[in-house]
Amino acid sequence: MSDSTRHPDSCIFCRILEGKEEGTFVYRNSKASAFLDIHPLFEGHTLVIPNDHFVDISDVSEDTLAEVMKVAQIVSNLMIKNLHAEGINIMHSTGRPAGQTILHFHVHVLPRRTGDDTEFQRWWFSRSHRASRQELSSMVAKLLP
């Protein structure tokens, strides 16, 4: 269900936006904001969120999503210019099984450098199973019935 108001009583990110909790802001405009993650995976790890409360990828409006990604690009460019990041990961989780812990839509922007965390890289590339043509056909048939 779409719900684009703020939830300052129940949502920590709405509280940060309202100035009721501390937030270290990197960028703000009328539609989206970026602030440092309190548990940084890498130095400069930033969260970009809509200023209105949307829960997840299926809830967020199309124009807000576009604005969040524009801000993610602005933050990425700051990281490249000022933190000398050599690469960027942009990550998002929708739903608890995917690891979403804060139910206010957000993307993580992670500045990366060569060799900064080989475990992180190993995790990403560990999906080594190569699907057969049959498996791929069966998957797409389920996705597009």
Which residues participate in catalysis according to the annotation? 106
CA–CA gap between residue 132 and residue 138 (Å, rounded): 10
Q: Rule CB under 6 A: choose which of 28, 31, 93, 120 binds ligand 5GP.
A: 93
CA–CA gap between residue 41 and residue 10 (Å, rounded): 25
Query: Do 25 and 35 form a contact (C-beta atoms < 8 A)?
Result: yes
Please identify, using beta-carbon distances, which residue of 76 and 106 lies nearer to ligand 5GP.
Answer: 106
CB neighbour list of residue 142: distance below 8 Å, 6 or more residues apart: none
Residue type, 130: R
Strands 46-50 and 107-112: antiparallel
Is 53 one of the binding residues for Zn ion (CB under 5 A)?
A: yes
Reading the block at residue 92, the tokens are 């998002």
Question: Shortest distance, CB of residue 91 to ligand 5GP, whole angstroms?
Answer: 7
Please identify, using beta-carbon distances, which residue of 102 and 140 lies nearer to ligand 5GP.
Answer: 102
Reading the block at residue 51, the tokens are 């200023």
Strand order in the sheet with 87-91: 25-28, 32-36, 46-50, 107-112, 87-91
Please identify, using beta-carbon distances, which residue of 119 and 141 lies nearer to ligand 5GP.
Answer: 119
| Residue 11 partner contact from ligand 5GP, Zn ion, none using kind-dependent CB cut-offs of 5 to 8 Å | Zn ion
Stretch that binds ligand 5GP, among 31-39, 48-56, 75-83, 125-133 (CB under 6 A): 31-39
Please identify, using beta-carbon distances, which residue of 104 and 108 lies nearer to Zn ion.
Answer: 104
Is 39 one of the binding residues for ligand 5GP (CB under 6 A)?
A: yes
Residues that bind ligand 5GP (CB under 6 A): 12, 21, 23, 35-39, 47, 93, 99-102
Residues that bind Zn ion (CB under 5 A): 7, 11, 13-14, 53, 104
